[in-house]
């Protein structure tokens, strides 16, 4: 560990990396050492006989792969090939798997850890959608529809979300090229084709619907806040200018009610 550390320190000094980046490299190196004790896991598994390598990777990754509807319809040889193409990967806290607007070149299968997945619609004001990616989850579904379209260009799809590790994460990744290679050998039946098409087009529709619903809820909340502020202003004005007695109470109540009528979608005043 000391020898490897000296190597890395000399390399970073030679390359004159910034102090912040050097600190991140040291943190990652310490994490990898703690998890693997210096063993190159990928090299170790790769040097096993093919049959034994497939069995090891199958026990580790097959359960994760079978959560993807496309892979559930594949035969055993193709699943074994997919398992063999999985690459173990470690992520430190605050490292990024992909950023919004960048090409998606891998699928992520989380064995252990927690990540955040956030969409801001390119930084559009007041738009924010987030959820967690946890143990057993996967990310990168956009690559599946890209791989299924064998006539598509080699241009990778762009991510609509930013995925960042909130804790240390142990995962498998499957590259876009490996995914497309295996999918090109997949020959689904007609029923399977119809199911996969409806599932992935439905996934895109439901994803878009969730984003629209989130934006609509945000809009309603904003309108309600503005309405309450306007109502409060009216009540303060009435308190300030009202003569002695309670003759203005009915007028205030009516004014506030009319503001809420504007938010009623069944009202003719709703816009």
- Per-residue pLDDT of 27-75, as tens digits, reads 888 787 777 776 777 777 777 888 888 788 888 889 999 998 888 888 8
Q: Residue 130 pairs with which residues in a beta bridge?
A: 118
Residue corresponding to tokens 């090939």: 81
Residue corresponding to tokens 């026990």: 59
- Comparing C-alpha atoms, which of 45, 47, 85 is closest to residue 183? 85
How far is it, in rounded angstroms, from Cα 78 to Cα 181?
10
What are phi and psi for residue 141, nearest 5 degrees? Answer: -60, -25
- Comparing C-alpha atoms, which of 65, 46, 53, 85 is closest to residue 180? 85
DSSP letter assigned to residue 243? -
How far is it, in rounded angstroms, from Cα 57 to Cα 53?
6
**How many residues would you count in the chain?**
271
- Per-residue pLDDT of 216-267, as tens digits, reads 666 677 777 778 877 777 776 666 655 555 444 444 444 444 444 444 444 4
């Amino acid at each position: 560990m000391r020898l490897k550390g000296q190597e890395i320190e000399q390399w970073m000094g030679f390359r004159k990396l910034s102090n912040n980046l050097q600190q991140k490299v040291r943190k990652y190196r310490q994490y990898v050492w703690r998890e693997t004790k210096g063993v190159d896991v990928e090299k170790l598994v790769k040097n096993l006989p093919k049959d034994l390598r497939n069995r090891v990777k199958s026990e580790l990754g097959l359960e994760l792969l079978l959560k993807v509807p496309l892979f559930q319809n594949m035969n055993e040889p193709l699943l074994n090939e997919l398992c063999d193409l999985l690459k173990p990967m470690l992520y430190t806290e605050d490292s990024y798997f992909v950023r919004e607007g960048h090409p998606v070149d891998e699928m992520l299968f989380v064995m252990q850890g927690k990540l955040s997945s956030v969409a801001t619609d390119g930084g559009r004001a007041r738009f924010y959608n987030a959820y967690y990616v946890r143990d057993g989850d996967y990310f990168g579904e956009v690559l599946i529809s890209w791989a299924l379209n064998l006539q598509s260009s080699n241009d990778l799809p762009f991510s609509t979300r930013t995925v960042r590790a909130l804790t240390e994460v142990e995962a498998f990744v499957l590259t876009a090229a490996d995914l497309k290679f295996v999918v090109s050998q997949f020959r689904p039946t007609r029923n399977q084709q119809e199911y996969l098409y409806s599932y992935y087009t439905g996934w895109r529709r439901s994803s878009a619907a969730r984003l629209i619903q989130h934006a609509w809820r945000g809009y309603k909340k904003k309108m309600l806040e503005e309405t309450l502020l306007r109502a409060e202003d009216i009540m303060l004005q009435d308190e300030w200018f009202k003569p002695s007695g309670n003759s203005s109470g009915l007028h205030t109540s009516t004014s506030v009610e009319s503001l809420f009528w504007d938010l009623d979608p069944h009202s003719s005043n709703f816009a």
